[in-house]
Amino acid sequence: MLKNYNFDDVDDRYDNFKRSNLGEEIDKLQRIVQRLKIPVLILIDGWESSGKGDIINDLTRELDPRYVKVELFDSRTDIDYLHPSVWRFWQKIPKHEEIVVFDQSFYSQVFNKDERSDDKLKQRTEELLNLEHMLLDDGTIVIKFFLHIQKDTQSENIAALEESKFRQFLLSDNDYEQNKHYDDYLDWFDKVLKKTDVPESPWNIINGEDRKLAAKTVLGITMEEITSGIERVSLARERTNMSNRNYQLEEAQLEQYDLTKTISDKEYDSVLEDLQKEAADLVYECFTKGIAIITAFEGVDAAGKGGAIQRLTRHIDPRSYRIYGIKAPTELENTYHYLWRFWNKFPKDGDMVIFDRTWYGRVLVERVEGFASESEWERAYDEINHTEKVLTDHGSIVMKFFMYIDEDEQEQRFEDRQEEPSKNYKITEDDWRNRKQWDNYVNAMEEMLDRTNTSNAPWYTIATNQKKYARVEVLKHFIKHIKVHLDNVKKVEDA
């Protein structure tokens, strides 16, 4: 894409743009994406000292600056390093209706010299492409620019910047490094651009030799891509309910479980505290080793998630974990991709987060109640598997508990709650209503367990009508999972 690029081949499509008309046009487009609630993400990459700053300035000046955000991604901060590398981009994605410009896109990580091994490139590129696909599938317009200049132009630009009184902020070692090894970088950039070129959002290589023309071209392409993006997203929204599912459940798991398993009060009392202390110790060990733990709880209503969580955390240092009870998304959360609110809550290295209900809501309640369209929840299985893989590839522990009781037991527990004044608040109309959908929920749960039970982030199904047995089972799986993980870490270190 960059190699054999002809710099003499001037792109003057937009040369006749009149600023004044342009301002009005862009203003209109901006109001359309706001009205249609379409997020727009503009990625600006390119050579060092190629004038990215000027281009961004020109671009945002024409857009109404009050509704545009520029996000600068230079070096990662200490907090960034305690999360998977895509984490910081998730924090800054546009809301539905916002235009966000990334100065150095997420691909700058792979443009970077530090990560120039083929293995690392492959893993990172996959993660980043997955991120981009998730945004595209969610109806984001993504526009990608790479500002291309020749070696001599880069030298001249660097020389000009050296004259500035702010040169120490405008120039870094990277500028000189790229200029010195221009041809190496050319090869590398070319490779990365090819790998990350996506049909719905191809790279636009901008001839940066004439900066004014480059700025106009960026503006012109932006307008065109927003226009065609509006069409693409609107069409996709109309088509959202087409059915092309070919999933077939092999066999129902949940019916197979023996729900009558119990533990005696005496045995429960004799093992509980030791298990709790062992769990607490293991969490502490993960803290000292900088390993994040993500523990997810799903299950049918009244299956005992809350009680199990309380027993699990009994001896764990409360400063090292946080529990999130996940409810329907708020107004603000609804203006983002559905995974955004979870990326906001994933723990930094060494911390633990427990989710009481999770991102699986997408394929459970949102599916059953129709809050998500079929194409939305159908693609969610892959999105979720991918997201959990990013977390475990980063070195975090992800374990998922599914708690199941049968219909009769649920009815019994609902009635107990209704009658007991101190538990009364736990039961609502919604619970009784959901119960009527029992079969639909179980059906969605079966598919979830089938399609997201991965080796890196397994489901532990806790299926019993006895609360105490369930609690002990959760503790045992929790302990075993962490132990195996720590053993594996140790093996890798020793090797």
CA-based end-to-end distance of the chain: 41
Tell me the per-residue interface mask from 142 to 171 with its own copies, x by CB under 8 A, - otherwise: ------------------------x-xx--
CB of 416 to its own copies, least distance (A): 16
CB of 430 to its own copies, least distance (A): 18
Q: Determine the Cα–Cα distance for residues 126 and 124; give it in Å rounded to an integer.
A: 5
Among residues 56 and 380, whose Cβ is nearest to its own copies? 56
CB of 122 to its own copies, least distance (A): 31
CB of 285 to its own copies, least distance (A): 8
Among residues 82 and 442, whose Cβ is nearest to its own copies? 82
Distance of alpha carbon 196 from its chain centroid, rounded?
18
Among residues 294 and 449, whose Cβ is nearest to its own copies? 294
The verdict on 331 binding its own copies (CB under 8 A) reads: yes
CB of 425 to its own copies, least distance (A): 7
CB of 24 to its own copies, least distance (A): 6
Among residues 352 and 449, whose Cβ is nearest to its own copies? 352
Stretch that binds its own copies, among 206-214, 259-267, 305-313, 447-455 (CB under 8 A): 305-313
The verdict on 255 binding its own copies (CB under 8 A) reads: no
CB of 331 to its own copies, least distance (A): 6
Q: Which of 184, 197, 317, 419 binds its own copies (CB under 8 A)?
A: 317
Residues of this chain, 93-122, that bind its own copies according to CB under 8 A? 101, 103
Q: Which of 220, 306, 329, 395 binds its own copies (CB under 8 A)?
A: 306
Among residues 169 and 247, whose Cβ is nearest to its own copies? 169
Among residues 180 and 322, whose Cβ is nearest to its own copies? 322
267 touches 455 (CB < 8 A)? no
Among residues 8 and 78, whose Cβ is nearest to its own copies? 78
CB of 306 to its own copies, least distance (A): 7
The verdict on 319 binding its own copies (CB under 8 A) reads: yes
What tokens appear for 479 in the block?
């302990």
Q: Determine the Cα–Cα distance for residues 57 and 312; give it in Å rounded to an integer.
A: 53
Residues of this chain, 23-82, that bind its own copies according to CB under 8 A? 24, 27-28, 31, 53, 56-57, 60-61, 65-67, 69-70, 72, 77-79
Q: Which of 260, 264, 310, 428 binds its own copies (CB under 8 A)?
A: 310
Half-sphere exposure of 437 (CA within 13 A, CB side): 19
The verdict on 417 binding its own copies (CB under 8 A) reads: no
For 452, phi and psi rounded to 5 degrees? -125, 15
Q: Which of 325, 370, 407, 484 binds its own copies (CB under 8 A)?
A: 325
Stretch that binds its own copies, among 111-119, 303-311, 385-393, 480-488 (CB under 8 A): 303-311
Tell me the per-residue interface mask from 233 to 252 with its own copies, x by CB under 8 A, - otherwise: --------------------
Q: Which of 425, 429, 492, 494 binds its own copies (CB under 8 A)?
A: 425
Among residues 200 and 431, whose Cβ is nearest to its own copies? 431
214 touches 207 (CB < 8 A)? yes
Q: Determine the Cα–Cα distance for residues 350 and 344; give it in Å rounded to an integer.
A: 16
Among residues 129 and 280, whose Cβ is nearest to its own copies? 280
Q: Determine the Cα–Cα distance for residues 392 and 458; give it in Å rounded to an integer.
A: 11
SS3 for the chain is CCCCCCCCCCCCCCCCCCHHHHHHHHHHHHHHHHHHCCCEEEEEEECCCCCHHHHHHHHHHHCCHHHEEEEECCCCCHHHHCCCCCHHHHCCCCCCCCEEEEECCCCHHHHCHHHCCHHHHHHHHHHHHHHHHHHHHCCCEEEEEEEECCHHHHHHHHHHHHCCCCHHHHCCHHHHHHHHCHHHHHHHHHHHHHHCCECCECEEEEECCCHHHHHHHHHHHHHHHHHHHHHHHHHHHHHHHCCCCCCCCCCCCHHHCCCCCCCCHHHHHHHHHHHHHHHHHHHHHHHHHCCCEEEEEEECCCCCHHHHHHHHHCCCCCCCEEEEECCCCCCCHHHCCCCHHHHCCCCCCCCEEEEECCHHHHHCHHHHCCCCCHHHHHHHHHHHHHHHHHHHHCCCEEEEEEEECCHHHHHHHHHHHHHCHHHHHHCCHHHHHHHHCHHHHHHHHHHHHHHHCCCCCCEEEEECCCHHHHHHHHHHHHHHHHHHHHHHHHHHHHC
Among residues 218 and 390, whose Cβ is nearest to its own copies? 218
The verdict on 322 binding its own copies (CB under 8 A) reads: yes
Q: Which of 313, 358, 396, 410 binds its own copies (CB under 8 A)?
A: 313
Residues of this chain, 337-376, that bind its own copies according to CB under 8 A? 356
Q: Which residues lie near its own copies (CB under 8 A)?
A: 24, 27-28, 31, 53, 56-57, 60-61, 65-67, 69-70, 72, 77-79, 101, 103, 166, 168-169, 284, 287-288, 306, 309-310, 313-315, 317-319, 322-323, 325, 330-332, 356, 422, 425
